[in-house]
Structures are given as C-alpha cells and as structure tokens.
Amino acid sequence: MKQAIWLLRADLRIANNPTLEAALAWRERTSGTLRAIYLPMALDPVSLDEFPEPIARLSNARKNYTTACLDSLRQGLAALHISMLEVHEDLPTWLENHAIDSLFFTYGAAFDERALEARVLATDVTCYGFYSRTLQSASQVLQSPLPSTYTPYRKKTEEHLGDRPFPNIRPFEGRAQLQNAFSPIESEARAHLYAYVSHQGPARHYKSRRNGLLQVQDSTKLSAYLSMGLLHPQEVWNRCLEIEAAVGGCEEVYWIRFELLWREYFQWVAYEAGAKLFRREGLKEPLKPLSVAGSPTAFALWTQGQTGDALVDAAMRELKETGFQSNRARQNAASYWIHDLKQPWRVGAAYFEAMLLDYDAASNWGNWAYIAGVGNDPRPFRKFNTEKQAAQYDPDGSYQRAWAG
C-alpha cells in the first residue's frame, strides 16, 4: 500500500489548508495511507560570536504552547483518520527508511526551512509543496526583483491583489467570539478573527488604537494564530475585505491588511536573503564596525526588566511573564537594547526567538535587523526615544505600573 506524509510546519490547521487538502485528495485517489509528522523543536542554546554566553533557544512557555497546538490538531486529524507522530531522525533518511511514496509540505521562508526542502526534494520521494501560510507564492512575488523597502512592495502588491477576496477560502460558520490570546484551538482562533473583525468589533478602531500597550483589544492578537498556522493569512485578508465592503470602506480595518502585508514582506525578504538575514551585518555591509562582545550584565538587566528605563522594563517583564509584547513595545525594547545599551542586535533577536509565543523567523529577525539598521529600513539609524514614546503611548503610566517590579 502506498504511503504519504504530511509534514507539519507552522500550518497546524484543518480549514483552508491547501497542503492538507492535496494530501486528502491523494488518499482518496490512491486509497493509500496518510499520516502527519512533526519534527521536534531545536532545544540547544544558541552560541553567537559576539556574546560570551550561549542563549537559551526555547522557553518553556513557547514549547508548551506549540505542544498544545499540536495536541489540538491531533484531535482534529483523528476525526479524519490521520495519525500524527514525532520524528527524531534525519527527515530524508526517515522517509527513505520507511518507504514513503509522497510527501506533502507547506513552503517555508527562513533559511533552515528552505534547506530542509532542498534535501527532501533531492530524495526519490515524490514531493508536493504548497503556499499555505502566505498570501502569494514565490512565482507571483519574485517575477521581478523584490523591492528593498516596504512601501514600494506594498503598493505593487496592493495593485496586483486589488480589492478582491482570495478564492477557495471557506468562511467561518461557527459563533464569532473574542478569545483570550494564544488559544491553541483552531476553531477558537477563527472565532476570534470573525469577532474582532466585524461590523461593531474592535477592528473598527484598529488603526487608531494599534499602538496601545495595555488593553487586550488594542491589537488583533492574531499573530500567534498566523505564526502557528491556525489561520491562513488569506482568510484574514478576506474577512477584512468583507467588513470594509459592508461598511462602505474603513481605513481602520484596512490597516490590518496593511500590517498583514508587512508580515508578508518579511516572509519574502527572508526567502531571498537566506542565511544573510542571520549574519551580524544582516542584509547590508556595515558602515562601521559592529560590536563584537556583548555584556552578560546588560543582558541580565534587560531580560529581567531592570535597566532603569520604566517603559522598556515594563515591556521586558511582560515578555518574560506572558510570552508577548505589542509591536510598539517590541520596537522600544529592541531599540533600547541596540542603541542605548550598545549591544549586539542578534543577541536580542535570539532572546525574542526563545520567548515569543508568536515567534516567526522572518518577522522576528527581519524586524530586529530593521531596527539595527542592517535590514530593510531606508533610514540608516532608527533609535526610539523611550521617554517620548512613554509620553505618547502610555501618558498616564498605566502600562508601566501594570508591569512594575
């Protein structure tokens, strides 16, 4: 009997999943056996030349959230008569040793994801790749050179996509309801999307409130669902278009699509950059020597939220306790680490990789390189004045008090 494998990789959902749909069609066509597998997350600490100590690779909170998402998916797949197992061996070797006929996978963007794809494509296993976690495919985006900055990319992409919904996306038919952040359950992720982006939902004020630091509904809280693949970004896009059309246009809701295109842009930056994204000099040749040796003392103060900067310390305590920061808090925390403490940007990026429940390699490393001035920022230097930021985005100090030591 023929055997096929669905390789799980940040596409942990059943609805609106082209990879799974193709695998199920294969099973129907061949009467073969279909199983899902996942590869364990890397646990070894990261060693960087510019820092004297190894950096933990994975927090317990992030590991537990990933495990919860996998457990939830396992229950859904059981209803489809698909078993799930964890593979600890080298994947190409495992595929050959188990006489696998076909492999279905979602294309990745980061260097290690694409390296694994190249290795499995070099085997005798028939491979089927799908773009199940981006708005577009590589052939659509990279027909011409990828713009070096976001704005021309956005304008070009919006012109190409227009205001048309993506086809083949089935809307949610359950009860729309706002959820606590980071539910590991696909149906709750979709229920949250349809409640947040609704006629009277928080999305009607998203652009105005997106920089808020404290209130749960200031931001969409969709980031983890997208990074784990509980939602297809095309479904988010379609839902925004639906509400925009229903209310006769709404810039507040449109701004979610604006931010979704930032996420998309970083996927393709990572896709093109490969290993360069993770270099000390990032995507650019350094204009001046970059710091070589970071300070463990500065790292301890920053990660524990004890730098003395109230806004940054609040953000870092929030991250340590919850595995989350708003985008505004992340920008300030990163800028302070790089430009105020004069520390290596890759150390900060690696720490965020370990801690963020919504970690996405392209977005995390792309944003850190951006703040460091070695990424896709048209400005050579982007330093945030944290006192002014606090006065503008936390004028009554409520966020700083909420996370005070």
Answer yes or no: do 108 and 164 share one domain: no
More confident of the two residues 289 and 82: 82
Pairing of strands 3-7, 83-86: unpaired
Helix (H, G, I), strand (E, B) or coil at 328: helix
Answer yes or no: do 174 and 115 share one domain: no
The predicted-structure confidence for 334-391, as pLDDT tens digits, reads as follows 999 999 999 999 999 999 999 999 999 999 999 999 999 999 877 767 899 999 999 9
Answer yes or no: do 196 and 313 share one domain: no
**135 occurs within a structural domain:** no
Closest Cα partner for 268 from 130, 104, 140? 140
Beta strands in 180-270 (DSSP E): none
* CA–CA distance, 98 with 184 (Å, rounded to integer): 31
**49 occurs within a structural domain:** yes
Which pLDDT score, from 0 to 100, does residue 290 have?
56
Q: Where are the alpha helices (DSSP H) in 52-167?
A: 60-79, 91-97, 111-121, 138-141, 150-161
The predicted-structure confidence for 84-125, as pLDDT tens digits, reads as follows 999 999 999 999 999 999 999 999 999 999 999 999 999 999
Answer yes or no: do 268 and 285 share one domain: no
**319 occurs within a structural domain:** yes
Answer yes or no: do 62 and 179 share one domain: no
Which pLDDT score, from 0 to 100, does residue 16 have?
98
Closest Cα partner for 119 from 105, 134, 138, 140? 105
The predicted-structure confidence for 194-225, as pLDDT tens digits, reads as follows 999 999 999 999 999 999 998 888 899 999 99
Closest Cα partner for 231 from 270, 196, 276? 196
* CA–CA distance, 274 with 325 (Å, rounded to integer): 27
Q: Which of 75, 97, 130 is the last residue of a domain?
A: 130
**331 occurs within a structural domain:** yes
The structural domain count of the chain equals 3
Answer yes or no: do 144 and 119 share one domain: no
Closest Cα partner for 192 from 235, 242, 151, 149? 235
Do residues 140 and 134 lie in contact, with contact meaning Cβ atoms separated by under 8 Å? no
What average pLDDT is seen over the chain? 94
* CA–CA distance, 375 with 349 (Å, rounded to integer): 13
**103 occurs within a structural domain:** yes
Answer yes or no: do 329 and 386 share one domain: yes
Answer yes or no: do 144 and 267 share one domain: yes
Which pLDDT score, from 0 to 100, does residue 335 have?
96
Do residues 400 and 311 lie in contact, with contact meaning Cβ atoms separated by under 8 Å? yes
Answer yes or no: do 256 and 297 share one domain: no
Q: Which of 241, 272, 303 is the last residue of a domain?
A: 272
**318 occurs within a structural domain:** yes
Which pLDDT score, from 0 to 100, does residue 346 have?
96
* CA–CA distance, 366 with 267 (Å, rounded to integer): 9
The predicted-structure confidence for 219-244, as pLDDT tens digits, reads as follows 999 999 999 999 999 999 999 999 99
Do residues 213 and 41 lie in contact, with contact meaning Cβ atoms separated by under 8 Å? no
Q: What is the CATH number of the domain that holds 203?
A: 1.25.40.80
The pTM is what?
0.95
Q: Which of 222, 247, 272 is the last residue of a domain?
A: 272
Answer yes or no: do 163 and 84 share one domain: no
**346 occurs within a structural domain:** yes
The predicted-structure confidence for 312-335, as pLDDT tens digits, reads as follows 999 999 999 999 999 999 999 999
Residue 12's pLDDT band (boundaries 50, 70, 90)? very high
Does the structure show a pLDDT above 70 at 292?
no
Residue 278's identity, in one-letter code, is F
Which pLDDT score, from 0 to 100, does residue 285 have?
73
- Tell me what percent of the residues of the chain surpass a pLDDT of 70: 98
Q: What is the CATH number of the domain that holds 284?
A: 1.10.579.10
Answer yes or no: do 291 and 348 share one domain: yes
Range of the domain at 66: 3-130
Closest Cα partner for 41 from 19, 55, 59? 59
* CA–CA distance, 239 with 173 (Å, rounded to integer): 13
**364 occurs within a structural domain:** yes
Answer yes or no: do 296 and 375 share one domain: yes
